[in-house]
Amino acid sequence: MGLFDYFKSKKNKTRTLPPAVVCAPVSGRVLSMSQLPDEAFASGAMGWCCGILPEDGVIKSPVTGDIMQVADTYHALGVDGDNGVQLVLHVGMDTAELHADGFRCRVRGGQPVRQGEVLLEADLEKIRAAGLSDVVFLAILNSDDFLEPELILSGPVVAGEALIRLRHKEQ
């Protein structure tokens, strides 16, 4: 068998990708999808979701990839992960009403980021003082590209710990 025959034989085989891992973007207490206090996230309308009741307002990138978009009000942003995961991080409920007051964004659309890099800072006291929830929602936008996501942790979590494992559907 020649060199080119070797590559031709590989072309017809199914390629299995390794599981994708999404890390916790903030320290706090993990909330499963059924525990989320917002119907849009809890219903799966945004894709598979989970949340974290945060201990602090330092939101870090859960994956290495590129920033897709940042909301003008800095309360939400999207990350396109190098591992194939496209996700949205959304801080709080109705926090767009704060018009960026209490949020400090450290990234911009199109910017590459590394897992663990600080994306934004949220003033949790300001959010709570406005009578709003400060839950950090994490939605997998392309969850249909994966088999059922696995929430690895429950209870307390530290930013950067592996939180979600996703197995790619057969390619």
Task: Please say if the pLDDT value at position 146 is more than 60.
Answer: yes
Residue 144, by phi and psi: left (phi above 0), alpha (psi -120 to 50) or beta? alpha
Closest CA to 140 of 66, 69, 84: 84
Catalytic residues: 90
CATH topology of domain 30-166: Glucose Permease (Domain IIA) (2.70.70)
Supply angle C-alpha 39, 108, 153, rounded to 5.
45
CA atoms within 13 A on the CB side of 2: 3
Give whole-number Cα distances, 22 to 25, 66, 73, 103, in Å.
9, 14, 24, 23
Q: What are 41's strand-pairing partners?
A: none
Give the pLDDT of residue 87.
95
Sequence spans of domains, the chain: 30-166
Across residues 2-10, what is the average pLDDT? 45
Task: Please say if the pLDDT value at position 119 is more than 80.
Answer: yes
What residue type is 29 in one-letter code? R
pLDDT by residue (tens digit) across 107-118?
999 999 999 999
